[in-house]
A and B are shown apart, each in its own frame.
Chain A
Amino acid sequence: MAEAKQMQVSDEVAISIQKMNKWYGTFHVLRDIDLTVHRGERIVICGPSGSGKSTLIRCINALEEHQKGRIEVDGTVLSSDLKNIDKIRSEVGMCFQHFNLFPHLTILENCTLAPIWVRKTPKKEAEEIAMHFLEKVKIPDQALKYPGQLSGGQQQRVAIARSLCMRPRIMLFDEPTSALDPEMIKEVLDTMIELAEEGMTMICVTHEMGFARQVANRVIFMDEGQIVEQNEPEAFFNHPQSPRTQLFLSQILGH
Chain B
Amino acid sequence: MSDTHAESVAFVRETALPPTAPPMAASGPVLWARTNLFATWPNAILSIAAAYVIYLILAATLPWMLNGVWTADSLRGCREVLDGTSGACFSVLTERWNQLLFGFNYPSELYWRPTLAFVLLFVAAAPVLFFDLPRKLLIFTGLYPFLAYWLIWGGTIFIPLVALIGVIVGYAVYDRLVKRNFALGFFSGIAAAAVVWWIGGALIEQFAFGAPMMEEIASRNLGGFMLNMMLGVTCVSLSLPIGVALALGRQSSLPVVKMICVVFIEFIRGVPLITLLFVANVMLAYFFPPGSGVDLFLRVVIMITMFSAAYIAEVIRGGLAALPKGQYEAADSLGLDYAQSMRLIILPQALKISIPGIVNIAVGLFKDTTLVSVISLFDIVGMIRGPILASTDWAGVYWELFMFAGGMFFIVCYGISQYSQWLERRLATDHR
Contacts and interface: CB of A to CB of B under 8 A. Distances in A.
Interface of A: 61, 63, 82, 86-87, 89-90, 92-94, 96, 98, 100-104, 113-114, 117-118, 146, 148-149, 162-163, 166
A86 B330 contact: no
Contacts of B331: 102
Interface in B311-335: 324, 326-327, 329-335
A66 B326 CA distance: 20
A103 B335 contact: no
State the majority secondary structure of interface residues on A. mixed
B72 to A, nearest CB: 58
Contact of B334 (A82, A87, A104, A118): A118
A113 B352 CA distance: 19
The 7 closest A-B pairs by CB, nearest first: A90-B335, A100-B330, A100-B326, A114-B334, A89-B335, A94-B333, A148-B431
Given A96-B329, A104-B352, A114 B335 contact: yes
Interface string B339-360: 0100011001100100000000
A102 B327 contact: yes
Given A146-B429, A146-B430, A148-B429, A162 B334 contact: yes
B432 A166 contact: no
Contacts, number: 69
Contacts of A163: 333-334
A162 B334 CA distance: 9
Contacts of A87: 335
B337 interface: yes
Nearest to B352: A104
For the residues of B in contact with A, the DSSP-based class is helix
B334 A113 contact: yes
B430 A103 contact: yes
Indicate the member of B327, B334, B337 with the most A CB atoms within 10 Å.
B334
Interface residues of B, number: 23
Interface of B: 324, 326-327, 329-337, 340, 344-345, 348-349, 352, 427, 429-432
A158 B159 CA distance: 53
Nearest to A116: B344
Contact of B337 (A61, A86, A146, A162): A86
Contact of A148 (B330, B340, B352, B432): B432
B429 A117 contact: no
B336 A114 contact: yes
B329 to A, nearest CB: 6
B126 to A, nearest CB: 23
Nearest to B335: A90
22 contacts: A61-B333, A63-B329, A86-B335, A86-B337, A89-B332, A96-B326, A96-B329, A98-B326, A100-B326, A100-B329, A100-B330, A102-B327, A102-B330, A102-B331, A103-B349, A104-B427, A113-B334, A117-B340, A118-B334, A118-B335, A146-B432, A163-B333
A32 B354 CA distance: 45
A104 B326 contact: no
A90 B340 CA distance: 14
A82 B349 CA distance: 25
